[in-house]
Each structure stands twice: as structure tokens, then as C-alpha cells.
Amino acid sequence: MNSSKKLIYIVNLRLPTEKAYGIQIIKTCESLADFGHDVLLVCPFRKNNIKDDFFDYYGVKRNFKFKKIWSPDFYWPGALDKVAVFLKNTISALGLAFYA
């Protein structure tokens, strides 16, 4: 009996990232794929100073898929920053939910 599953791991954050949660997410996807599951990691587009290849940056196997979906990424300085973050995250979340 084949117990492998198709899994979509959806995150509303910037990848790759230098933050620890990035490693946790990537290693989880890699491990699930090692167990034979078909894993797709999906995140919104975010401006990123990290230009390295996604898999090379984390040093993981290419045993799962990674997809970025379009999402606005903008910044409004000052008091409007909270509004910009809310709009950006809301639009990204809707896009990610629609993708799933």
C-alpha cells in the first residue's frame, strides 16, 4: 500500500532568509520528501538581498519543489508602514490560499 501524500507547505514570509525559521521550514520539507512524499513549498515573492540559489543557500537536497507566487512588495515609511504591512500580508495570504 502506497502511503505517500502530496503535501503543499504554504508560508507567508520571505525565503530564503537568514532567520532560523527558514532552516526549520526547509529541513521539514526535505525530511518529508525523504519519506517519499511529494512536497511543494510555496511562498510569496518578497524583495530579498539573498541572491543564492534556494537549495544551495540551505544546503539541502533538491527532493522537493519550491514555488514563489506573485505578491506585491512595497514599503510606506512612517505611520503608513503598518498599513503597508497589513495590505501586503493580506494580499499575500489571499494569493496563497487561492493557490492551495
Lowest model confidence (mean pLDDT) among 6-20, 22-36, 45-59, 62-76: 62-76
pLDDT tens digits, 66-92:
999 888 877 777 878 888 888 888 888
For the chain, domain boundaries: 6-70
What pLDDT score does 74 carry?
A: 72
Q: Which residue has the cell 526535505?
A: 30
Q: Residue 39 burial (CB < 10 Å; 0-12/13-18/19+)?
A: buried
pLDDT band at residue 2, thresholds of 50, 70 and 90? low
Q: Residue 79 burial (CB < 10 Å; 0-12/13-18/19+)?
A: exposed
Q: Output the pTM of the full model.
A: 0.82
Q: What is the mean pLDDT of residues 11-17?
A: 92
